[in-house]
Structure 1
Amino acid sequence: MNQVFLKASIGLLIAGIGLPSFAGITLGNPDSDLGALTVSGAVRASYQDKQYGESASDQKVQFDAGILKLDYQSKKLFGRAEYRCYQYDKLCDFSTLVDGYMGYKMNSTDNLTVGLQPIPFGPGQYWDSSFYAGINNTMGLQDAHDLGVKYHFEMPSSTKFDLAYFLTDGGNYHGASQDAARYTANLVKSSETNLQEKNMWMARVSQDIHPYDDLKMTVGGSYWYSDIKNRSTSQDGSRKAWALFNTMSYKNLGISLTGGKTSIDNKDVLIPAVSTFGSFDAEYDIANTGYFYTVDINYTFNNVRNFLNITPYFVYSGFDKKDKNFADSERNILGVAWSHKNITLYTEYVMSKNDPFVGGARNSLAQGDDGKLDKLLNIMFIYNF
């Protein structure tokens, strides 16, 4: 495996260095009233060695995704649209809208955003340094995007606030599944349940602390309350979730700690402890109540040999379920990110238990599966243009 890992990594990196370097096409001036529109994107190729039963013939470098982005900036307005086309068996067999929003700048720090956008839950859009992301991403807590309005404002004391209302989730797009062709893990309609989350109210507060020149810290918390419509029983349930976080950086060292609880009342008499979610064209069940956590440690070596930035990282994440008959889930990632201009290469080793996306099954995040430690070698090449 080490030889395969080394050959694939070196091959993708050398191929990428030979590509032209440019980042998007910008039309206009962002400092003008008319503003500027930037068109950019990315293409991704991957190699995976799934050490949980997949035959060696399926281990190959293949196209992963194409990404198109539109970004708009002016004196008072800003906006973003992003669409992604993925390949599982054939080109664009799963594709989805990720972002689609416009915003108004009240001043240099405060703004109002309307549309499909990242939710203000946890320390930020991303909770860790990896590409594959921790288990909370599969649970729809990290890098989640919903349709609504968000107000962001800051105080002179370096205290930041986000208040948001999301009418509904990000929606279902093109794929083979019934209702799971989504970028964000949402409650979905399935053969077992018919749930939809709506009226999502969220609040986040964070405080920047700089005790020393090289030491920066941010502490904060966020809360999430929403209605869950059960179309099978014609009753309305709810979701309540909270998260506390602390991010620290000292020179090139970064540490992030996030933990919280999620609790769903799905008003389902037959399946009260489990709800069906869907993302990336796959359906899976998640326990309704439990504690989640993510620990991220990373260190960046800048300008190695005058051209390469190298960031090793470790991600420790899990979901401890309240139901003692359910097996807890975890996903831990040891990796290195290599970047040169518009090229990034992630080399990761993922170790998971009871994980639907790493060797698991539909019920991995609920009752659990065989409980074995499944391993995945994930190499992802990204060229941004």
Structure 2
Amino acid sequence: MQKNALNSGISLILLGCMGTPVYAADLKIGDAKTDLGELSVSGFVRAKYQDKSWSDNDHKLSFDAAKINLDYKSPKIFGHLEYRCYQFDKLCDFSTLVDAYAGYNFNENHLIQAGLQPVPFGPGRFWESNYYGGIITQIGLEDVHNLGLKYQVKFDTGTQVELAYFTGDGGKYSGPYADDASRYTTNFVKPEDSSLTHLDEQNMFITRVQQDLSGLPEGMSTTLGASYWYSDIKNKTNGQTGDRKAWSVFGNVAYNDLTFGLTAGKNDVDNKDPMTPQASLMGSFDDNFMVANEGMFYTADVSYTFKNVGKLDAVTPYAMYSSYDKSEKGFKNSSRNLVGVAAYYKDLSFVAEYIVGKNDFLIGGPSDSYAAGSDTDTHELLNLQVYYNF
């Protein structure tokens, strides 16, 4: 009941933002440099047009999503809330909390934050520069937001260390199709089919170390890093406890307006399930799907920003390679590759992306795409979006 009330209340705020012109200068109260701090509101409203090689149902421009952020900043205390709503069949029929955390700055190099927040695994919240995202978001390792505590320290040598503990996931919210999969982050979920095993991830210990390199040519910056994830996987069907062990290494290089990122790692889940030991049920965005328990993952991303192109503020073409290479013999790999371009004009953003997926459930693949992967064909999606940012 409380989550449904929260869904309704924030959906009304989002609808209000959609119906009333707003400007960034009008959405801030206070001063972040004072003890009272600053409260700000931001977000976007997004429309889309999609052409799918596997369907003829989306050849129309329609409302897609809206996001609202509430941020508080002061010299010592800060907080952040992000809420989103999406349209599947009708306006905001799927809505979900993404972040809700508060933190404290001990000084400019040390902070602690608690609540529903991004898991510090991989190079950042997003591993690529595109808008649709990579396939590792469906594996539950990228753009993950769970409930916990994080401590961060920065050193004068350019080293940043993050240590985090998460008690569990961020819970379910409101959607028209699935029950426990009505969430933003891909988590282990309660099955709707009683023959499947119910898994729950708890006690997540995450560490990430990043190093900025010095002594590089003018205009170049480089960051190298690694992260490790260990958690308990509670098998709520048979009462046993398995684990997840995942690691990643990553590097990001920027030279003037050119950026390149590469992430690689391994996912290894022991679900203590004698029926399906090779795969586990996960879910997000109101869908359930099986995911292979063990595999290597790779994401490569490149982008270049052209500034002040005609009347446009910037134009950014980009490309991504993303794959999950499963260890189980006979399982077919999953991949999502993308080329696109984004253009920016004042508060508007225009996005055009061509996406090719193979054994990718979101790009026309079968229900077993991220597990055994029975598809032998690729599928294509043309994704056109326009954002109003406030």
Taking structure 1 as the reference length, what is the TM-score of the superposition? 0.93
Q: How many angstroms apart in 2 are the aligned matches of 1:26 and 1:239?
A: 42
Q: How many angstroms apart in 2 are the aligned matches of 1:58 and 1:212?
A: 48
**CA 224–94 in structure 1, closer or farther in 2 if over 3 Å, else same:** same
Q: Which moved more, 1:168-177 or 1:199-208?
A: 168-177
State whether residues 247 and 255 of structure 1, in contact with CA within 8 Å, keep that contact through their aligned partners in structure 2. Answer: yes
Q: How many angstroms apart in 1 are the aligned matches of 2:137 and 2:218?
A: 33
Q: How many angstroms apart in 1 are the aligned matches of 2:303 and 2:136?
A: 18
Q: What code does the residue aligned with 2:41 have?
A: V
Match of 1:280 in 2: 285
Q: How many angstroms apart in 1 are the aligned matches of 2:43 and 2:157?
A: 37
Q: How many angstroms apart in 2 are the aligned matches of 1:265 and 1:106?
A: 38
Q: How many angstroms apart in 1 are the aligned matches of 2:209 and 2:105?
A: 19
Q: How many angstroms apart in 1 are the aligned matches of 2:209 and 2:127?
A: 16
State whether residues 162 and 205 of structure 1, in contact with CA within 8 Å, keep that contact through their aligned partners in structure 2. Answer: yes
Q: How many angstroms apart in 1 are the aligned matches of 2:22 and 2:81?
A: 25
State whether residues 52 and 58 of structure 2, in contact with CA within 8 Å, keep that contact through their aligned partners in structure 1. Answer: no
Q: What code does the residue aligned with 2:181 have?
A: A
Q: How many angstroms apart in 2 are the aligned matches of 1:303 and 1:29?
A: 31
Q: What code does the residue aligned with 1:208 have?
A: D
Q: How many angstroms apart in 2 are the aligned matches of 1:350 and 1:307?
A: 25
Q: How many angstroms apart in 2 are the aligned matches of 1:64 and 1:33?
A: 39
Within-5 A mapping of 1:111-190: 111-175=111-175, 176-190=177-191
Within-5 A mapping of 1:57-136: 58-136=58-136
Q: Find out whether 1:333 has 2:334 as its counterpart.
A: no
CA deviations over 1:164-213 (Å, ceiling 9, x no partner): 00010111110121210110000011021201101000000011013122
Q: How many angstroms apart in 2 are the aligned matches of 1:333 and 1:254?
A: 16
CA deviations over 1:267-315 (Å, ceiling 9, x no partner): 0010100001101111111000000010001110011125330110000
Cα displacement (A) at 1:162: 0.5
Cα displacement (A) at 1:40: 2.0
Q: What code does the residue aligned with 1:202 have?
A: I
Q: Find out whether 1:202 has 2:210 as its counterpart.
A: no
State whether residues 224 and 252 of structure 2, in contact with CA within 8 Å, keep that contact through their aligned partners in structure 1. Answer: yes
2:223 to 213, 218, 227: 218
Percentage identity across aligned positions? 48
SS in 1 for 2:99: strand
Match of 1:308 in 2: 313
2:324 to 319, 322, 344: 319
Q: How many angstroms apart in 1 are the aligned matches of 2:149 and 2:306?
A: 38
Tell me which of the two structures has the higher relative contact order, counting C-alpha pairs closer than 8 angstroms and 6 or more residues apart.
1
Match of 1:257 in 2: 262
CA deviations over 1:351-379 (Å, ceiling 9, x no partner): 01000100012210001032211000001
Q: CA RMSD in A?
A: 1.2
* Unmatched runs of 5 consecutive residues or more in structure 1: 1-18
Q: Which moved more, 1:208-217 or 1:351-360?
A: 208-217
Q: How many angstroms apart in 2 are the aligned matches of 1:184 and 1:89?
A: 21
Cα displacement (A) at 1:108: 1.4
**CA 301–225 in structure 1, closer or farther in 2 if over 3 Å, else same:** same
Taking structure 2 as the reference length, what is the TM-score of the superposition? 0.92
Cα displacement (A) at 1:346: 1.3
* Unmatched runs of 5 consecutive residues or more in structure 2: 1-20
SS in 2 for 1:357: helix
SS in 2 for 1:58: coil
State whether residues 312 and 343 of structure 2, in contact with CA within 8 Å, keep that contact through their aligned partners in structure 1. Answer: no
Q: Find out whether 1:357 has 2:362 as its counterpart.
A: yes
CA deviations over 1:7-56 (Å, ceiling 9, x no partner): xxxxxxxxxxxx8753661111111111111122211101100011x12x
Q: What code does the residue aligned with 2:378 have?
A: L
Q: How many angstroms apart in 2 are the aligned matches of 1:72 and 1:371?
A: 49
Q: How many angstroms apart in 2 are the aligned matches of 1:91 and 1:219?
A: 42
